[in-house]
Structure 1
Amino acid sequence: MNIISYGRQHIDDEDIQAVVDCLRSNALTQGPMVAQFEQAVADYVGARYAVAVSSGTAGLHMAALAAGVGPGNALLTSPITFVATSNAAVYAGGTPLFADVDADTVNISPAAIEKKLAEHPEIRVISPVHFSGLPCDMEAIKNMADGAGAVIVEDAAHALGSRYADGSPVGNCKYSLMTVFSFHPVKSITTGEGGLITTNDEETYRKLLRLRSHGINKEVDTYQLPENAQTDGVPNPWYHEMQELGFHYRITDIQCALGVSQMKKLDTFVSRRRALAKRYDAAFAGSKLIKPAQTAGRDCSAHHLYPVRIDFAAAGTTRAVCMGELRQRGLIAQVHYIPVTMQPFYQRLGSVNADYPQANAYYAQALSLPLYVDLTDAQQDSVIALLLEVLG
């Protein structure tokens, strides 16, 4: 059976050759491809600095620390996200908080953010999630963050290739201190596993570099004990300083070689995803059971996912039965996401899932349909027909 999954990477001969060339080079890690990949992403999004890391999760953790999250303050995010977003607050010793989503975008609601800021002056960081690639209302969120003395760390794991309402690329950090991307195989581009943080702030950039590699600094101009860096006035070429507790969050040159190759195709990838999303939109336009979860910003989104809302009760079935029948026919759908506030860990931390009615209403009907670059029109037509058949 030819399985059609909800997401899949696109790898061509150019990508394979890039990795082979790296494997035949002298540097498999901590070499030139890392900087080359960072520069490629920074140039694409229009940010001053980029720091590539081992995963998007590592990037969120480092960004939370660099933004000052810690004991006594909080990070505010959406309940409709992968748990890594809020976990970053816990990793950093801070408190995770949530604001409900907007019913039409499934992105964090500016009105809900405003309410949370009024209730929780300890909020240090707001982390909007550009769900499925649709950018949040960043102008409104930035105005509120500035008024509350909070900083913004964008979770753009879904959004490389997306554009804000003003047409500029997500990741340029015009609205935020940092933006975090993910390069998991189902994302806009892939490095296998991997992530990256962009910023325009030099101090933040230098801190991220230290956090990525054990808290070690090799910059002569910022040594804390410069007397140890030389012998009789001659620089000690081996010298470095561990100035804070960091992590082993480095990415390899092998992964970055793939990333550099993939970046050359990003616009083509996003264009195909947008075309597929519009074909789904047209197919479901007259359906009473199936509605696109997002209808705004179709030409702004990178369309990492194609989430729909299905009235399973009206169809006389359940989501579990529907997904099982689709799988039997070779179609693997998925659910993005179980609200984080529904997770036992977060309920033990004090989250009350009932406080987020829009997130729960979305989750009750959510289903992500296959969307990836190599999905053909014929395969997509089969997906549509199978779903309509299963729903009766």
Structure 2
Amino acid sequence: MIPYGRQNISAEDIAAVTAVLQSDCLTQGPQVPLFEQKICEFTSAKYAVAANSATSMLHLACLALGVGDGDYVWTSPITFVASANCALYCGGKIDFVDVDRHTGNMCPKALQSKLKQAKAQNRLPKVLIPVHMAGHSCDMQAIWQLAQAYGVRVIEDASHGIGGSYLDSKIGACKYSDITIFSFHPVKIITTAEGGVATTNNPDLAESMQLLRSHGITKTPEKMLRPEEGDWYYEQHELGFNYRMTELQAALGNSQIKRLSSFVEQRNKLAAAYLIELAKLNITCVVPLDNSYSAYHLMIVVLPEHIDRKAVFDAMRAANIFVHVHYFPVHLQPYYLNKGFAEHDFPEAEYFYQHCLTLPLYPDLTEQEQGYILDTLTGLL
């Protein structure tokens, strides 16, 4: 079977994790802060905060930005459900901004229109979460300018995006956002098995997320009410969570990040080969903006309207090619339908979903496997 995504685990990765297993610290040791440091070095962000998943980091990012009861958070309907759920964890309300059907990313024109209407209704969001679909950056400069004009904070959901760049900055530098979130699930660009990181240039936001990821507890003497108690002593200052990343996860990340740039380079080479062949079939591909360099987490094509996507999907799976679909629009999930969303609320997102198909893409995909995928797809069109 050819999966749509697959992790690359080296002997060095295994040795790094094994070394932690043989050490004194399986959690809360030197590996996690080292991983955070490496993320900062790679992205040029001033601060990085690691947790057990990107979902956890989205939650903490919303809390750090003050999302609470009744506050609106807007995100894309073309994303994994975590991008929306994080607002509800805080007691907030969720709404969506339609996408550009050609990119699957949040549409700045749709955002501008929705912000203008929301201001007139006194229902502006507190936080906006654009999603870098497939590793392709949203038009963050346009989104940031609109957010600034309306007093809205921005979290980049770059779960797909580490290793990519936009204009003159790495994704994660937070030039056009308050916080950026990365995911290290096994199908992502690099993996920590499960894990996530937030980057920010704001020390207060970093400190808040650090506190909240570990029960709201601090052992920093200058922050304590009773620092004289002794070294055993700690204080809880907030209602936090156990969202800590383990040393095992961080050790794997510290090994994987050495190959991050080469992984992304190989993904782009494979994507370029796909683009050449798919153009011959008149298949539209979801590609990055001209002013960005994609991490190419996913290779998404948009099939012509006359093609039966489900028939193609089933036939590809029957041929042991594990194509996928990213994503079923969040607003059409039963949970969100029960909150009042309905079909046709976000027509561009629904069009994108109805015609998109994800082809296998990962660094170890061979030329022969890619040829087989393309030959199989060609025979179905």
Of 1, 4, 7, the residue aligned with 1:6 is 4
Question: Aligned partners of 1:46, 1:73: CA distance in 2, in Å?
Answer: 31
Of 134, 139, 142, the residue aligned with 2:141 is 139
Of 35, 43, 51, the residue aligned with 1:45 is 43
| Residues 251-262 of structure 1 mapped to structure 2, 5 A cutoff | 251-262=245-256
Deviation at 1:218, TM superposition (A): 1.7
Provide the residue aligned with 2:299 in structure 1.
306
Instruction: State the TM-score, normalized to the length of structure 1.
Output: 0.94
Question: Aligned partners of 1:370, 1:297: CA distance in 2, in Å?
Answer: 23
Of 235, 244, 249, the residue aligned with 1:250 is 244
Of 52, 63, 66, the residue aligned with 2:64 is 66
Provide the residue aligned with 1:330 in structure 2.
320
Provide the residue aligned with 2:184 in structure 1.
183
Question: Aligned partners of 1:296, 1:47: CA distance in 2, in Å?
Answer: 22
Question: Aligned partners of 1:114, 1:68: CA distance in 2, in Å?
Answer: 23
Deviation at 1:353, TM superposition (A): 3.2
Provide the residue aligned with 2:129 in structure 1.
127
Question: Aligned partners of 1:112, 1:299: CA distance in 2, in Å?
Answer: 21
| Residues 197-346 of structure 1 mapped to structure 2, 5 A cutoff | 197-223=198-224, 226=225, 228-230=226-228, 236-288=230-282, 290-294=283-287, 296-297=289-290, 300-311=293-304, 314-315=306-307, 318-346=308-336
Question: Aligned partners of 2:288, 2:242: CA distance in 1, in Å?
Answer: 40
- State whether residues 274 and 299 of structure 1, in contact with CA within 8 Å, keep that contact through their aligned partners in structure 2: no
Provide the residue aligned with 1:161 in structure 2.
163
- State whether residues 62 and 211 of structure 1, in contact with CA within 8 Å, keep that contact through their aligned partners in structure 2: yes
Question: Aligned partners of 1:266, 1:68: CA distance in 2, in Å?
Answer: 33
SS in 2 for 1:205: helix
Instruction: State the TM-score, normalized to the length of structure 2.
Output: 0.96
Provide the residue aligned with 1:193 in structure 2.
194
Deviation at 1:294, TM superposition (A): 2.7
- State whether residues 134 and 297 of structure 1, in contact with CA within 8 Å, keep that contact through their aligned partners in structure 2: no
- State whether residues 189 and 295 of structure 2, in contact with CA within 8 Å, keep that contact through their aligned partners in structure 1: yes
Question: Aligned partners of 2:324, 2:368: CA distance in 1, in Å?
Answer: 21
- State whether residues 52 and 243 of structure 2, in contact with CA within 8 Å, keep that contact through their aligned partners in structure 1: yes
Question: Aligned partners of 1:296, 1:66: CA distance in 2, in Å?
Answer: 30
Listed one character per residue, the Cα deviations across residues 33-66 of structure 1 (whole Å, up to 9, x for unaligned) are 0011111111100011111100010011111111
Provide the residue aligned with 1:79 in structure 2.
77
Deviation at 1:104, TM superposition (A): 2.3
SS in 1 for 2:351: helix
Listed one character per residue, the Cα deviations across residues 339-392 of structure 1 (whole Å, up to 9, x for unaligned) are 11111111211223312111111111111000001001111011100111123x
* RMSD over aligned Cα atoms: 1.3
Question: Aligned partners of 2:165, 2:292: CA distance in 1, in Å?
Answer: 8
Counterpart residue type for residue 176 of structure 1: S
Deviation at 1:103, TM superposition (A): 2.3
Question: Aligned partners of 1:349, 1:285: CA distance in 2, in Å?
Answer: 41
Provide the residue aligned with 1:103 in structure 2.
101
Listed one character per residue, the Cα deviations across residues 270-308 of structure 1 (whole Å, up to 9, x for unaligned) are 0000001111100011223x2112363496110000000
Counterpart residue type for residue 50 of structure 1: A
SS in 1 for 2:344: helix
Q: Does 2:141 correspond to 1:151?
A: no
Deviation at 1:268, TM superposition (A): 0.2
Question: Aligned partners of 2:161, 2:126: CA distance in 1, in Å?
Answer: 23
Counterpart residue type for residue 9 of structure 2: I
Q: Number of residue pairs matched?
A: 377
Question: Aligned partners of 1:100, 1:294: CA distance in 2, in Å?
Answer: 18
Q: Which runs of 5+ in 1 are unaligned?
A: none
Counterpart residue type for residue 196 of structure 1: V
Provide the residue aligned with 2:366 in structure 1.
376
Deviation at 1:24, TM superposition (A): 1.0
Listed one character per residue, the Cα deviations across residues 93-130 of structure 1 (whole Å, up to 9, x for unaligned) are 11111010012221101111112222323300011101
- State whether residues 292 and 308 of structure 1, in contact with CA within 8 Å, keep that contact through their aligned partners in structure 2: yes
Provide the residue aligned with 1:386 in structure 2.
376
Question: Aligned partners of 1:387, 1:298: CA distance in 2, in Å?
Answer: 30
Q: Which runs of 4+ in 1 moved over 4 A?
A: none
- State whether residues 137 and 289 of structure 2, in contact with CA within 8 Å, keep that contact through their aligned partners in structure 1: no
SS in 2 for 1:354: coil
SS in 2 for 1:132: helix
Question: Aligned partners of 1:211, 1:295: CA distance in 2, in Å?
Answer: 34
Deviation at 1:314, TM superposition (A): 2.6
- State whether residues 136 and 288 of structure 2, in contact with CA within 8 Å, keep that contact through their aligned partners in structure 1: no
Question: Aligned partners of 1:211, 1:51: CA distance in 2, in Å?
Answer: 11
Point out the more displaced range, 25-34 or 67-76.
67-76
SS in 2 for 1:314: coil
| Residues 18-57 of structure 1 mapped to structure 2, 5 A cutoff | 18-57=16-55
- State whether residues 281 and 378 of structure 2, in contact with CA within 8 Å, keep that contact through their aligned partners in structure 1: no
Provide the residue aligned with 1:366 in structure 2.
356
SS in 2 for 1:245: coil
